[in-house]
Amino acid sequence: MNKQVELQELGYKDYKDTWDYQETLFKGIVDTKIKNRREDANLETPNYFLFVEHPHVYTLGKSGDMSNLLIDEKQLAEKNAVFYKVNRGGDITYHGPGQIVGYPILDLDNFFTDIHKYLRFLEEMIILTLAEYGLKAERSPGETGVWLDVGTPFARKICAMGVRASRWVTMHGFALNVNADLGYFDNMIPCGIRGKAVTSLNVELGKKEVSITEVKDKLLKHFVNLFEAEMKFQEEKV
């Protein structure tokens, strides 16, 4: 089993371009697994972890309801935002500047073949990271992602999640609000759940800005521990 995970920092990148890139990596892993099965090739499958920040975009998952987007095409354009229907689970979500988006593209045969455990580990990675900032983050029964003040009238979501898995290969992932413009969440019903607020780490800490690099380092530390993985950095392309 290959427990090495290649970290790729994609920077500020268009959602559709990133989605296409994910699909390329995803297909490469799946094709290798198919070859192994058909030809008994015993080739090692790679794993990737992409960090990216997207321009303003709304995405709707396979089971999502289009009515959860509250603005039309003209209003999207006015807000410099775009919209895509995507092939992950979950309903509608928003990505934008000030948000850490992580896409683990893993062959779970290298780790464990349990998609529910995979989702719980991603949530735990976020929960442990936020605990380092003095925040008690939690799961909300029946709702994916990570929340604060669950079970109270002040419940608010700080991290959205939606994944796709096929042949135990994952794609898509999580979006953690760090310095996000929360006004963009007013244009949708977050994850299709009415009456729930959304928050960002900087708001919770009462800071203008939180170090994105610092948060990423904490996330990776907990990811490596939970998945018993070895992180390697993408080699510079010449």
Q: Is residue 238 part of a domain?
A: no
Give the chain's radius of gyration (CA, Å): 18
Catalytic hit among 5, 81, 106, 191: 191
Per-residue pLDDT tens over the stretch 168-205: 999 999 999 999 999 998 888 765 556 678 999 999 99
Instruction: Give yes or no for a contact between 125 and 49, defined as CB atoms under 8 angstroms apart.
Output: no
pLDDT at 93 over 90: no
Q: How many domains does the chain have?
A: 1
Its sign, for the CA torsion 106, 53, 83, 89, is: positive
pLDDT the model gives residue 31: 97
Identify whether 159 is a catalytic site residue: no
- pTM score, whole prediction: 0.92
Looking at the domain assignment, is residue 119 inside a domain?
yes
- Is 92 annotated as contributing to ligand binding? yes
Mean pLDDT estimate for the chain: 92
With 50 as the cut, is the pLDDT of residue 236 above it? no
CATH number at 67 reads: 3.30.930.10
Determine, yes or no, domain membership for 132. Answer: yes
Q: Is residue 68 in some structural domain?
A: yes
**Which residues form the domain of 204?**
4-233
Distance CA 25, CA 4 (A): 15
Sign of CA dihedral 111, 116, 119, 123: negative
Q: Assign residue 168 a region: left if phi > 0, alpha if psi is -120 to 50, beta otherwise?
A: left
Residue 174, strand partner residues:
102, 161
In a domain, 46, yes or no: yes
Query: Residue 175, annotated ligand binder?
Result: yes
